[in-house]
Structure 1
Amino acid sequence: MTTGQSDPGDHPAADQSEELGALLTRALAQADKTQKDLAVAANVPYTTLNHWVAGRRGTSRVDPDVFRGMAEVLRRWGADITVRQIFAAAGRAVPGPSDQEREARLLKIYRALSTDRQRDLIQIAESMGRPTAS
């Protein structure tokens, strides 16, 4: 997502801490849709979605836009779900919005670094994106 505006699904949820599988199952039932329907509409491989619902696959490396896309599809179908709920259920913080200016600035900084420093920056950024122990 490249807008600076907040996502309408980013408002805080009322302390809902469902597991991702339970949350998706509930939302699909509300929308009267199947996992296959969601996989196609959100452009997520069906087997991946099925593994998330069954709790057989983690989500730590999933691009945040995938979660945002699923929430958007489910909301469009009438499910009572927010982006924040999906991220919470996946054990992840909701990433802040980004904009093209900040992304361009970061890319300019990255390109000016030596190869070793680029690797360091990637490691730092990846560690910042990992969930913290609570």
Structure 2
Amino acid sequence: MADQERTEDLAQLLARLKSEHDTSYEEIARRIGVSRSAVSSWVNRTRGGKRGPARDHLEALAREYKLDRNYVFEAAGRTSPGPYDADAEARILELYRGLTATQKVEKEVEMRALNELNRTGQ
């Protein structure tokens, strides 16, 4: 993509998709599983203050319109979740196995909070 395209925000990205796909914001909303008013608020930059769309909705937008996931997250001002890494998962699981029961509970709470933050942007 050209540098100019790389600087577009989510509102500009949605407007471009609407134009390039000769579609409506209502159709974009339907395809990614949100309300028309949600898409409208993203276009008008009024949705939830700093929060913006949930991770699942950004991923749906990338999938439905065959866009680079990182690009969509960048346009929304969000960091995209990292790729799956089986080796890292195995290392983390091995470390987890060495924790006490109390430490395991604490780490689970922490990981749930981080996942929720990534999912919702809050």
TM-score, normalisation: structure 2: 0.64
Report how far residue 99 of structure 1 moved.
7.2
Report how far residue 125 of structure 1 moved.
2.3
Q: Which residue of 1 aligns with 2:106?
A: 117
Q: Which residue of 1 aligns with 2:55?
A: 64
State the identity %. Answer: 24
Does the alignment pair 1:84 with 2:70? yes
Q: Distance in 2 between matches of 1:24 and 1:127?
A: 25
Q: Distance in 1 between matches of 2:21 and 2:70?
A: 18
Structure whose alpha-carbon radius of gyration is higher:
2
1:28·1:74 contact (CA, 8 Å) conserved in 2?
A: no
Alpha carbons of structure 1 residues 113 and 27: separation in structure 2 relative to 1, 3 Å: farther
1:21 maps to which of 4, 11, 26: 11
Q: Distance in 2 between matches of 1:22 and 1:61?
A: 14
How big is each residue's C-alpha offset from its partner over 1:93-130, in whole Å with a ceiling of 9 and x where there is no partner? 1211347994xx5xx87xx5479836861587269859
TM-score, normalisation: structure 1: 0.60
* Greater relative contact order structure (CA < 8 Å, 6+ sep): 1
Structure 2 gaps, min length 5 = none
Whichever residue aligns with residue 83 of structure 1, its letter is R
The count of corresponding residues between Structure 1 and Structure 2 is 110
Alpha carbons of structure 1 residues 128 and 37: separation in structure 2 relative to 1, 3 Å: closer
**Superposition CA RMSD, Å:** 3.8
Q: Distance in 1 between matches of 2:117 and 2:32?
A: 27
The DSSP-based 3-state class of the residue aligned with 2:7 is: coil
- Structure whose residues are more often helix by fraction: 2
Structure 1 gaps, min length 5 = 1-12, 76-80
The DSSP-based 3-state class of the residue aligned with 2:20 is: helix
Q: Distance in 2 between matches of 1:117 and 1:37?
A: 43
Report how far residue 68 of structure 1 moved.
1.5
Does the alignment pair 1:74 with 2:74? no
